[in-house]
Structure 1
Amino acid sequence: ENEKLKLVNTKVNVNIKEELGGVELLPLSKISKHFPSQPADEHIHIIVQRPVETKEVHCTATYGRKSKKFQWTVTRGQITLSALKSRLRTCFTFLDGTEDEHIVINRECGGNEKEIICLVDDEDLASVIWTQGFKVDFPIVVDTSQQPFSSWTFPQIKTLFGLTADSYIDLPRFDGKLADTANYEKILEHVLEDIAMKHKTCIHVTSANEATRREFISSVLHGVASCYDGEVKVCPEYELSGSHGKGPVDWVIKIGDTIIVVTEAKREDINQGVGQNAIQLQASSQRNKKKRTYNEALREDVMYGIVSTGVDWVIIKLVTTGECNDNDNGNVEVLLSSRTPFTFPINESVFDKSLMLEKLKNLFGQIKWVFDRQIESQESLKRLKTENK
């Protein structure tokens, strides 16, 4: 039918009866006889309507490790990213809280060296689908990388990583240890004085906002980092991105190319803070893998994270094995230090200096041990690179 209408659209003189298969009517002045009552000639209009055209789209969609094939039959007006995302929701189980704006659709094109092109809007999608052919092959890669880190919860990472624990406190434990702090008495005294001053000049921690709690957390982090004579850097509001999230991280501890992620638990919710921290660590693990050779990237990757409200401190370890990239999480374990949760009582109304020093030494020792482990991991990787040359 469309081929016939092309003749009309291009204003080519045609015989309606013979060439278009139409019905020959009498001259215009006689058309009125076909109506029950005779209208005036100027009220008679001839309307030619193009038939509704559809496309048969054969989609091959990949989300993580899963791949689905389905047929999507659409008209020109139905080709929208929103409609395609609704169709994808029938094929894949997305994490709770995943909104349409979190779902990213990428077109896969090319031969042996495949290229991934993000479809930004409806026009991008239509330009691919609305081609000359009736059938369209459409391979796509689906991701949820636009979800902000702060929106992740523990139940969501349980689903994503296949964890068995329902809460951070039920995570399997790793043997956390204390580093020796005997050589850092002056640093400990300086940090204790800084915390004592803030305890006196800040509003009480029980009613303090997140910015106030951050002051106390920052004092501890900078104190431990100062034990390394500039080798360890504390970077607040560090931008990080991965396949499942992106955004600013409260603090990143940089040790060469390796980072330790520190998350302030919002609204004193450690469980949510651990979920957020684990996703940030996974993003960091992907970042590290991209900088390594293929064989190096297949090694077990161990990342440490710290979650704190200022009073409560938790140390976790994320272990990734196998290939970890934008479409594959690898095998992920999340472990909790045997020494946490640990309470640092800055919320007490009376600042007991001897008690706080004892607590600070313990907290310092735990965090320094984590820093030492990451430095050892960095040195081990350097040795591996040297051996492979």
Structure 2
Amino acid sequence: MEVEEHIHVLVDPPPSTAISSREQELLDRIALLEKSLSKSTHVFDVVIKPKRVKTFKWTVNIEHATLEGLKNFIRGTCPTPALENDGAVLNILNDEGKYLPMNDQDLRELLQVFVSKKNLKFTVTVETPSKAFSDWTFPKVCQLYGLDGESEEPTMAAFPLFSCGNVKPSQESMEGLMAELKSRIENTPINLLSIEATKSLYVYSYLLAGANNFKGKFEIRPQKVISGPNGHGPLDFAIDLRRTAKTVGVTEVKKDDFTKGVAQCAVQFESSLSNRKRKANEIEEEQAFERVFGIVTDAEKSYFMECTMDDQERPSFKLSEPAVVVYNNVSVENMVREVLSHIVWLLEEAQKPDSDSRS
């Protein structure tokens, strides 16, 4: 009997190439990330502090990004005076943390990290080193606050005109001021007004007479030290409102350089208002005060100034025409009265909440 032989061939199926949906999702994400990283140009959502909630679109090739380029973007979208301060630095904040890029390479690496984490939104804060008020020059201040326009050599005409009002001073304060000035002229001759310390003596007499129209409401503080985002140092004279203990008036005594005096006063204004903003929660009604006044004077010629700050903490300034006193003139009393009436008006305005003073 023949025996049938059977050959059995076992065939294994090829290995399955199917992958799970989770694996596919990961592969897709990797591919998307590789594609994103290979692309150099990205659109970032940038928020610029302080008090900016709106985002701005910044399109940049991160391989060629520079700090100056980011600063120019900020200048173009929402001008920030602090950028014009020498040594201004950019603090960058997002969900990953806070960063301080010190050079272009730092910035490029940081942007690359944001792209790799698919987090293209960040906040920029401009921080500036504060310098002494006396170090500021007029051209630099005009540049800082955007007052120079296209001029390379700005003049005081860069400041909008301030129409300083006047209020008739009390007879007592006027008579007291004239008696004090007469005594000073007799004992500290007018020709010594070339000395700044002598000028300060005369200026204090005017400030005291002005404050005497509001008994107990103001303090005159020589050499009060304040600091702000762009400057620090002593004020020649600060006028503080007693009920808030905050500076509402700034007086800069100059021997001759009025443009430098105006420059210093402008930075002092910003410092005074910035301090109020920072401490506004301490005294609830302080939030309504957004103005500060100042005088730049050599005791013979006086400029009056006003500074206001908007809700974005940007200061704006106005500067008056000068009021002049000629002490050996027969009409000196009328000249003195004009200066004093301006000071009294400023002190009256300084007591009003911002909404009242602008109505």
Size of the aligned set, in residue pairs, is: 276
Of residues 185, 202, 211, the one that matches 1:225 is 211
Task: Give how far 1:146 is off.
Answer: 2.0
Letter in 2 for 1:272: K
**Is 2:185 the partner of 1:199?**
yes
Task: Give how far 1:115 is off.
Answer: 7.5
Task: Give how far 1:167 is off.
Answer: 2.0
Of residues 163, 166, 189, the one that matches 1:178 is 166
| Equivalent position of 2:301 in the other structure | 312
| Equivalent position of 1:144 in the other structure | 128
Q: Matched residues in 2 for 1:244 and 1:178: separation?
A: 32
Task: Give how far 1:110 is off.
Answer: 8.8
Q: Which moved more, 1:197-206 or 1:304-313?
A: 197-206
Judged with a 3 Å threshold, the aligned counterparts in structure 2 of structure 1 residues 115 and 345 are, in CA distance, closer, same or farther, namely farther
Q: Matched residues in 2 for 1:146 and 1:285: separation?
A: 15
Task: Give how far 1:365 is off.
Answer: 0.6
| Equivalent position of 2:311 in the other structure | 322
**Is 2:231 the partner of 1:245?**
yes
Q: Matched residues in 2 for 1:378 and 1:172: separation?
A: 19
Query: Following superposition of structure 1 onto structure 2, how do residues 118-133 of structure 1 map, counting pairs within 5 Å?
Result: none
* Contact persistence 1:302–1:319 (CA under 8 A): yes
Q: Matched residues in 1 for 2:304 and 2:94: separation?
A: 44
* Contact persistence 2:130–2:228 (CA under 8 A): no
* Contact persistence 2:83–2:144 (CA under 8 A): no
Judged with a 3 Å threshold, the aligned counterparts in structure 2 of structure 1 residues 160 and 235 are, in CA distance, closer, same or farther, namely same
Task: Give how far 1:266 is off.
Answer: 3.2
Q: Matched residues in 2 for 1:251 and 1:204: separation?
A: 21
Task: Give how far 1:299 is off.
Answer: 6.9
Letter in 1 for 2:270: Q
Q: Matched residues in 2 for 1:240 and 1:96: separation?
A: 21
| Equivalent position of 1:156 in the other structure | 140
Letter in 2 for 1:230: G
Q: Matched residues in 1 for 2:186 and 2:84: separation?
A: 41
Of residues 197, 213, 222, the one that matches 1:211 is 197
* Contact persistence 2:254–2:296 (CA under 8 A): no
| Equivalent position of 1:289 in the other structure | 277
| Equivalent position of 2:240 in the other structure | 254
Q: Matched residues in 2 for 1:231 and 1:147: separation?
A: 32
**Is 2:337 the partner of 1:361?**
yes
Judged with a 3 Å threshold, the aligned counterparts in structure 2 of structure 1 residues 300 and 229 are, in CA distance, closer, same or farther, namely closer
| Equivalent position of 1:11 in the other structure | none
Q: Matched residues in 2 for 1:217 and 1:67: separation?
A: 52
Judged with a 3 Å threshold, the aligned counterparts in structure 2 of structure 1 residues 175 and 264 are, in CA distance, closer, same or farther, namely closer
Judged with a 3 Å threshold, the aligned counterparts in structure 2 of structure 1 residues 334 and 140 are, in CA distance, closer, same or farther, namely closer
Of residues 272, 293, 300, the one that matches 2:260 is 272
| Equivalent position of 1:336 in the other structure | 319
Letter in 2 for 1:359: M
Give the gaps of 5 or more residues in structure 2.
1-45, 73-80, 107-111, 115-122
Sequence identity percentage: 20
Letter in 2 for 1:320: M
Q: Matched residues in 2 for 1:321 and 1:107: separation?
A: 23
| Equivalent position of 2:39 in the other structure | none
Q: Matched residues in 2 for 1:88 and 1:225: separation?
A: 49
Letter in 2 for 1:168: M
Of residues 175, 183, 187, the one that matches 1:189 is 175
Deviation readout 1:15-64 (Å, 9 max, x if unpaired): xxxxxxxxxxxxxxxxxxxxxxxxxxxxxxxxxxxxxxxxxxxxx9x898
* Contact persistence 1:234–1:251 (CA under 8 A): yes
Q: Matched residues in 2 for 1:67 and 1:150: separation?
A: 39
* Contact persistence 1:300–1:319 (CA under 8 A): no
TM-score by length of 1: 0.58
Judged with a 3 Å threshold, the aligned counterparts in structure 2 of structure 1 residues 379 and 267 are, in CA distance, closer, same or farther, namely same
Letter in 2 for 1:163: L
* Contact persistence 1:277–1:305 (CA under 8 A): yes
Judged with a 3 Å threshold, the aligned counterparts in structure 2 of structure 1 residues 375 and 261 are, in CA distance, closer, same or farther, namely closer
Task: Give how far 1:284 is off.
Answer: 1.1
Give the gaps of 5 or more residues in structure 1.
1-59, 73-86, 120-124, 130-134, 325-329, 382-389
| Equivalent position of 1:345 in the other structure | 326
Query: Please, what is the CA RMSD of the aligned residues?
Result: 4.2
TM-score by length of 2: 0.62
For 2:326, what is the secondary structure of its paired residue? Answer: coil
Judged with a 3 Å threshold, the aligned counterparts in structure 2 of structure 1 residues 320 and 67 are, in CA distance, closer, same or farther, namely farther
Judged with a 3 Å threshold, the aligned counterparts in structure 2 of structure 1 residues 372 and 156 are, in CA distance, closer, same or farther, namely same
Q: Matched residues in 2 for 1:300 and 1:177: separation?
A: 19
